[in-house]
Amino acid sequence: MAIYKFPATLTKENDGGYLVNFCDIDGCFTDGNSLEQALSNAKDALCLFLYHMEQGNKKINSPSNPTSLKCSKNESIHVISCNTGDYKSNRDCVKEILVKNNLWSIPVDLNQLAKNEGFDIKLLPMIDEEGSIEVSKDKKIIKINVDDYPKRRTFTLAHELGHWFKDGYGKELFACRDDKIRNEYNAHESEINSFASELLMPYELMSQFIIDLNDMDMYTEDNIEYLIADKFNVSKEAARIRFKKFVKEAIT
Ligand SMILES: [Zn+2]
């Protein structure tokens, strides 16, 4: 998964619609009834195309310089960016990351993952915050509130790494999870939490763990959540949320 920027040529049609073509990527084109729709479809088409090229290990050409592209009267150039990581499910992203780092086992060693990605982890007292992440040209730091209990700190580390893999991955980044953000409903933060939960309790590893329990009827849901919390080194609450989601995922 990666972030890409490619120029697209938009051609205005007589009926008011637009055709979109990416000259650097053979066969990648789309359209839209309005400029807004054409740009949104362009992003989807680019992401889908590049995602499949990554999956098939196909060579992706570097993007042309947009200013070097010639266009006629009814054409305009727009630079479209996309993150193929958005296209993949958290499940696929997490597996790819952990396998690549040789960390596909439980409990997932997030300290090692953070280290592999070049982060300094700093445990320190923080006011109204559980953690934060800072990425700039010369430093990569994850701060974690030392006053939180260990399993909470592990979740915070997973959350901050979630910002890195979902929001950052190569660009400057500053994000934190303070009480203000957490108390308001914040769709993005909750998306990062889902990623963090998958990172700590990957679907496939959890599935294998549950199969290995053999006779699940022997256990109550509460027992299973307790075993998950213990095995994956997460809080009972995090195990409960993940297990509920896991059951849903397993049915659908
Ligand atoms: Zn956050």
Q: What is the pLDDT along the chain (252 residues), one digit of tens a residue?
A: 678 999 999 999 998 899 999 999 998 999 999 898 899 889 888 988 898 888 788 899 999 999 999 888 899 999 998 888 766 788 888 999 999 999 999 999 999 999 999 999 999 999 878 899 988 888 999 999 999 999 999 999 999 999 899 877 656 666 665 555 555 556 678 788 889 999 999 999 998 998 888 777 788 888 999 999 999 999 999 999 999 888 877 766
Distance 9 CA to ligand 1 centre (A): 36
146 within 8 A of 66, measured Cβ to Cβ: no
Q: How far is the CA of 220 from the centre of ligand 1 (A)?
A: 33
Q: Is 66 helix (H, G, I), strand (E, B) or coil?
A: helix
Domain locations in the chain?
Answer: 3-87, 90-251
Identify which of 116, 107, 150, 158 has the alpha carbon closest to the alpha carbon of residue 133.
158
Phi, psi of 24, deg, nearest 5: -85, -15
- Give yes or no for a contact between 92 and 195, defined as CB atoms under 8 angstroms apart: no
Let me know if domain 3-87 sits in CATH 3.30.160.250.
yes
Ligand 1 centroid distance, CA of 175 (Å): 6
Alpha carbon of 249 to ligand 1 centroid (Å): 24
Query: How many A from CA of 34 to the centre of ligand 1?
Result: 34
Helix (H, G, I), strand (E, B) or coil at 35: helix
137 Cα to the center of ligand 1, angstroms: 21
User: What's the CA-to-centroid distance between 21 and ligand 1, angstroms?
Assistant: 36
d(CA 197, CA 195): 5
| Cα–Cα dist 221/189, whole Å | 27
Ligand 1 centroid–CA 153 distance in Å is 13
